Structure 1
Amino acid sequence: MKHYHYIFTGSGLSALMTVYEMAFSEKFDDKSILLIDENLKKSNDRTWCFWDENQLFESIVSEKWNTALFADNNIQRELTLKPYQYKMVKGLDFYKMVFDTISIHSNIHFVNQNVIDFQELGNHCVVKTDTESFSCNKVFNSILNQETVKNQTKYPLLHQHFIGWFIKSNQAVFNPDCATFMDFSVEQKGNTRFMYLLPSSETEALIEYTLFSKDLLSKEEYETEIQNYIQKIGITEYEIVEKEQGNIPMTSYKFWKHNSKNIINIGSAGGWTKASTGYTFKNTIKKSKALVQFLLSETDFRKFHKNDKFWFYDLLFLDVLNRRNDKGSKVFSALFKSGKPTLIFKFLDEETSFWEDLQVIWKCPKGLFVRALINRLFK
């Protein structure tokens, strides 16, 4: 049985970002690292969007916008994002960047296999695939077991689920300088439903139908809504260039309680997804950097997680949407109707002071959140 210092079960965003940070730091060159995944990461299977005021991964940013539109049935507000920009990174570009980086490090390896089990045995761990087994000192697991969350009732589980079409229109209908961040003017049908529209030119854009809800839809329902929206914005002739589909768990469940001394859950499996929005890219950058720094001085993964006020804010928001999923549009509209966009983004990035928190929270529908707070305190 071959032994490694570190094994990553799964090679999604969190695993690749952490390994990238380890390689970039050059402080783990004496450690053997293995990534195991049945997916070779050779296709453009997803896109990530995030707001940023720095130059994070600028070389692989495919699109960026200085303004963004927020809309519902009553308002349309163009948001000035400066000093932020809203940015898009394509999955394939990210995978290539990471694998190009780690390929020059002889201590980092990848095997194309399916992980079926892993466990801690005293001072070492064993990872089993469908063809062989490996031992290691530490396991970084990013394979989410949703049954763990479903089999409890203390913390609600919603999903950010979506289908997106990259289309090319025969008509010049898009404003390539402005992204549609959230358009709640689509029929809500008792849920929190909105459209993203991310243009790359006057004729090309990603149009994505997204829900924050408990239950998924049939493929036909998503695509019918996309077709309706395309017609609504005046496009009569177009081609579908590419499609994407995703389902991101939104929960404040304490995944880190399952960490052990030598096994840590990362990514969605570790609660790294921003629970209130489903955004993953920026959060994963922060968490992976923190984890790599942690490894330089600590050996017990149970010490890694630190609870904070933002976890509780997210929990209350999910409590609201879990009880009244039809009110999501009302909550976001209250925030963006007159709120300062840069402060809201700073809040969602978990970088605000308590006074700044209050400025954002005060704009939320108070009755919904007071009731959620009371229910949570006595739960």
Structure 2
Amino acid sequence: MTNYDYIILGAGASGLMLAYRMALDPFFDDKSILIIDKEKQKGNDRTWCFWENGKGEWDHILTKTWSKIYFGSDNFKDDIDILPYQYKMIRSEDFYTTLLQSIEKKSNITFLNDEVVNFTELKDFVQIITKNGSYVASKLFNSIHNPELYQTQKKHPVLQQHFVGWFIKTKEAFFDDSTATFMDFTVPQNGNTRFMYVLPIDKHTALFEYTLFSKELLQFEEYEEAIIHYLNERGINDFEIKEKEKGAIPMTAFKFSQLNSKHILNIGTAGGWTKASTGYTFRNTAKKTKALVSFLKTENDLSKYHKKSKFWFYDLIFLDVLANHNEEGAALFASMFKKADVKTIFKFLDEESTWLEDLKIILSVPPKRFIQAFFKRLF
């Protein structure tokens, strides 16, 4: 068996971002680090978007930014100026390539193409078994997502943010690439929370993503039929599909921190770093990995990394409402965007809002369902 100070399982956003931060910090120069993943070059398997106030550390690899967003529903629709925020897009191939360039310069960081079979925590270390070998780590960071850990419990509802997206190119200049369609709930809801998400890259190219917040996934063709119908309604009939993507992101207030231990920390989606009420992960991962690198310089017990937050309870109540009244999601979001300032919404969803700003968001949504959910949880 080969011994390492740190082993990172998975080279997706969270695993690579953690390794990248370690590569840039001299504190880790004398630490042996191993990254294990079946694939090193994953290509454009993901599109990450996030809002950010001003300049950010990933601006040099952005594909596109928007300073305006469109929100649409039967009850409220508006083009919203979000400055000084910008809505930012990163394609995963640019992200992977850029981070790996920095990581590969460090002789103390090794990448292993292999498949993890299991890992076991012993008294003073963790043993990792792969298809082709066995390894030992003082600390293990696991980003391999195992849905069974939370899907079998009944205490916290589990929804999915599930979607299929088409990158399309048109001959005519159809798109206003200054505005991103954040949520368009004018699509048929069919008893769920459903919306179209549109990111125009230029006048001829855009990502159309049919998205649901619900418990059950659809058949693949149902997503695609919805995209075709949406395009046809807007007179977009002559187009070429350049790429397709699909995904299902868990939305749950399950306490992932209870899976951590002294020597094992779950990160990314596996660690509950996905914002439970929205499915957004990238910006939270950036903040969490930065905090984790600082934590490792002073602490030895990984179970102490997680900090309790008021936002966990907010997400819990929100998901209770959305799980039990999924058909009311469009009205809920419409009320929020109609009554609250978008900058306050962004701060709230980024878990950076004050108590006063929290109150503004709470007062912007229909109270009945949330009061019911609150007292049900309370008692």
Same fold (TM over 0.5): yes
Q: Is the 8 A contact 2:75 2:331 kept in 1?
A: no
Q: How does 1:196-211 map to 2 (within 5 A)?
A: 196-211=197-212
Partner Cα distance (2:201, 2:57) in 1: 20
Match of 1:184 in 2: 185
Q: Is the 8 A contact 2:75 2:334 kept in 1?
A: no
Q: Is the 8 A contact 1:65 1:177 kept in 2?
A: yes
Match of 1:326 in 2: 327
- Give unpaired runs (5+ residues) of structure 2: none
Partner Cα distance (1:34, 1:101) in 2: 15
Instruction: Encode CA deviations 1:184-214: one digit per residue, 9 max, x unaligned.
Output: 0000011110011100111110000001110
Q: Is the 8 A contact 1:171 1:235 kept in 2?
A: no
Partner Cα distance (1:132, 1:147) in 2: 25
Q: Cα RMSD over matched residues?
A: 0.9
Match of 2:8 in 1: 8
Partner Cα distance (1:251, 1:67) in 2: 29
SS at match of 2:118: strand
Q: How does 1:1-379 map to 2 (within 5 A)?
A: 1-53=1-53, 54-378=55-379
Residue 40 of structure 1, CA deviation: 2.2
Q: Is the 8 A contact 1:261 1:299 kept in 2?
A: yes
Residue 43 of structure 1, CA deviation: 1.3
Q: Which amino acid aligns with 1:376?
A: R
After TM superposition, the structure 1 stretch with the greater mean CA deviation from structure 2, 263-272 or 35-44, is 35-44
Q: Is the 8 A contact 1:173 1:234 kept in 2?
A: no
Partner Cα distance (2:41, 2:344) in 1: 36
Partner Cα distance (1:218, 1:41) in 2: 29
Residue 233 of structure 1, CA deviation: 1.6
Partner Cα distance (1:180, 1:194) in 2: 10
Residue 169 of structure 1, CA deviation: 1.2
Q: Is the 8 A contact 1:174 1:202 kept in 2?
A: yes
Query: Number of residue pairs matched?
Result: 378
Q: Which amino acid aligns with 2:40?
A: L
Residue 321 of structure 1, CA deviation: 0.7
Residue 25 of structure 1, CA deviation: 1.9
Q: Which amino acid aligns with 2:184?
A: D
Q: Is the 8 A contact 1:166 1:242 kept in 2?
A: yes
Q: Is the 8 A contact 1:118 1:126 kept in 2?
A: yes
- Give unpaired runs (5+ residues) of structure 1: none
Partner Cα distance (1:33, 1:226) in 2: 44
Residue 56 of structure 1, CA deviation: 2.8
Residue 30 of structure 1, CA deviation: 0.5
Q: Is the 8 A contact 1:68 1:78 kept in 2?
A: yes
SS at match of 1:306: coil
Residue 76 of structure 1, CA deviation: 1.9
Partner Cα distance (1:17, 1:142) in 2: 11
Q: Which amino acid aligns with 1:200?
A: I
| Percent identity (aligned) | 51
Partner Cα distance (2:276, 2:251) in 1: 5
Partner Cα distance (1:233, 1:59) in 2: 34
Instruction: Encode CA deviations 1:98-150: one digit per residue, 9 max, x unaligned.
Output: 10010100111111111110011110111011111111101001111111101
Partner Cα distance (1:339, 1:255) in 2: 30
Q: Which amino acid aligns with 1:112?
A: N
